[in-house]
Structure formats: C-alpha cells, structure tokens
Structure 1
Amino acid sequence: MNGDLDHVGRLQAQWARERPDLDTSAMGIIGRLHRLADALHTELRPVFEQAGLSDGDFDVLAALRRAGSPFALTPGQLAETTMITSGTVTKRVDRLAAAGLVTRERVEHDGRVRRIALTEPGRALVDEVVGLHFANEERLLAGFSDLERTRLAHLLTQWTTTLGI
C-alpha cells in the first residue's frame, strides 16, 4: 500500500501509525504545495536563464511591459507590483540597466523621482520570453482538463483572498 503513496502520503501514513490521534489532512495539502512550489520553480527557471535573466529580472521586465505604453514605472510602483523591497528593486534595475534592457528617467514634474522604463531591446526580450514562459506554464498544466484548471484557479484564488495575499 505505501508504494502507491507519494512522499507526503508516506509521511502522513507514518504519522497515522505513530500518532493516530492527529489529523494530517492539512499537512497533506501544505506539504504537497511546498513540493510543487519547489518543482515549479525548477521547471520555470530555465526559460529565464536561457534568455540571460533571473526569474526576478523577468519579473521586473514583465511588470514594465504589463504597465503599457510608455512601459515605465517608478521604483515604488515596481516594488508594489512585484512584491519586493525597494532595495531589491534597485539591485535588479541596476543589473537590467547595465544590460541595456531598462533606463532610469527623471519624472518631469519632480526631478527627484526616477521612472524605470523598458528600452526597445528590453521590450523585445520580454515579449519573446513571456511567450516561452506561458508555453512552459501550459506544459506544466497539460495534465488538467479545462474544468479542473478552472476549479483549481478558483480554489487558489479563494485561499489567497482568505489569507489576504
């Protein structure tokens, strides 16, 4: 019977044997999500690496591209939309600017404020990589029907909303 269980299922079976008084159903969900998150990170990263980017670099480029024309955001807006600290934004922008993928521009009404903007090469790169990224995500979800994907998305949205994240 244990041969049919996944890693988390084997852990649950061990706890059931040692502490039958404990309910391990939450562990079954959380443990599998942790394992999935690690596996997904491993599966998603190569697309970015092939383009010479980290996943964080891609996140900044994608945020700028999603912003629409003129494809520019302030560092604070980038921090908010990517959910990273301003210090991390600075490091990523420094790297992307050195690669010629973004520029720092002064905001007309306030010379102290800088906007981070995609360059033409940055826009071309993110447009190429996002297509590859979405195709990779589709590959990772290929085992699910449309209905299963809809249900899973609904459950995950419900959960993130409940947790306020």
Structure 2
Amino acid sequence: MATDPTPDPATRWLTAREQEIWRSYMATAIELQARLDRQLRSDAGMPVAYYEILVVLSESPGCSLRMSRLAEVCNSSRSRLSHAMTAMEKSGWVSRCAVDGDRRGAVAQLTDAGLEALREAAPGHVTEVRECLFDSLTEQQAEVLHEISQAIGVTLRQRG
C-alpha cells in the first residue's frame, strides 16, 4: 500500500516482498483465467464458467447435481449459476428439473448435447492449460504449486 498518513497499527501490512509476490500472483492468475476464457469462447463458443459447469456435471453421478451443490462446487452464487444455466439450457447443454418434495430445490442435468459440447471443447482447453501452465513449470514446481494451492484452499475453507 502507498504511504498512508495514518496507518492502522493493528493492520498486518504486507512487506515490500510480500506486495511484489501478491501482485505477481494476481496478475498471473487474472491473465491465465482470461486466456483460458478467450480460448474456450473462440474455439468452443462458451466461457470458461460454462465449461466448468459441464465438467462438474459430467463427473457427478448420473451427470446431475442439485443446483445448490453445483453452485458450491463451482464457487458461484446461486444467481450467477441460474443465469448460466438459462443460457446453457438454450444451447441444449443442460436441463433443470424440480426435486420431488422440495418446491425450492432443482437439479441440473447434463444432456447428451452438453456432453458432446464438452468432448469437443476439452482438447483445446487442455492444450491451453498445458501450454500456459504446465509447460512453464518443472515437475517439482508443479508439485510446489499444488501444495501452495492446497494450503490456500484449506485456509479459505476454514475462514468460510
């Protein structure tokens, strides 16, 4: 943070090195996400968020999942997921149906067309992930990245 005339002594400010690491991490994470999104939009006609939803549904038992759980797994708000599902239903990739005995609950279901769209999108997406991430790292660096990601994930889940 730039010099603050009245710094709060209770705040644990980042050191200069931590600030450098933070900014580098954020710039890289944002650029990687943007590149993956551009590739999927260009090659498969879908944003990375839709791809993620299709992947999660394809890996779920019966290719279906309660909407509330899908939002949780995709780290999405229910409102954002609902908008995505509406667009994906128009493409024929997913369907929604009510849960018996639960007027507010709904289940997202991957359709055959959605599975086919995922199969067509996957090779280009995986190639982009490999070229932009894994080809830049040694095996040891990839393992360290995994450990770091796991540690951050644990902290985030603990903090709710």
TM-score band by shorter chain is 0.7 to 0.9
Match of 2:115 among 123, 127, 132: 123
Give 1:128 shift.
2.5
Q: What is the aligned-residue RMSD (CA, Å)?
A: 2.1
| Structure 2 unaligned residues grouped into runs of 5+ | 4-13
Give the 3 Å change call, closer, same or farther, for CA 159–105 of structure 1 in structure 2.
closer
State the number of aligned residues.
Answer: 143
Tell me what 2:28 maps to. 36
Aligned pairs (5 A) from 1:10-159: 23-49=15-41, 50-68=43-61, 70-107=62-99, 109-110=100-101, 112=103, 113-140=105-132, 141-159=134-152
Give the 3 Å change call, closer, same or farther, for CA 115–145 of structure 1 in structure 2.
same
Which SS does the other structure have where 1:37 is aligned?
helix
- The structure having more radius of gyration, on CA atoms, is 1
1:32-69 CA deviation, whole Å, 9 max, x = no partner? 0111012102221123202111122222212111213x
Question: Taking structure 1 as the reference length, what is the TM-score of the superposition?
Answer: 0.77
Q: What is the one-letter code of the residue matched to 1:80? A: E
CA contact (8 A) 1:47 1:133 kept: yes
1:85, 1:163 → 2: CA distance?
16
Q: Percent identity?
A: 18
CA contact (8 A) 1:72 1:116 kept: yes
User: Which one scores higher on RCO, CA 8 angstroms, separation ≥ 6?
Assistant: 2
Tell me what 1:8 maps to. none
1:114-134 CA deviation, whole Å, 9 max, x = no partner? 211111010111123233222
Question: Taking structure 2 as the reference length, what is the TM-score of the superposition?
Answer: 0.79
Give the 3 Å change call, closer, same or farther, for CA 159–104 of structure 1 in structure 2.
closer
2:78, 2:136 → 1: CA distance?
38
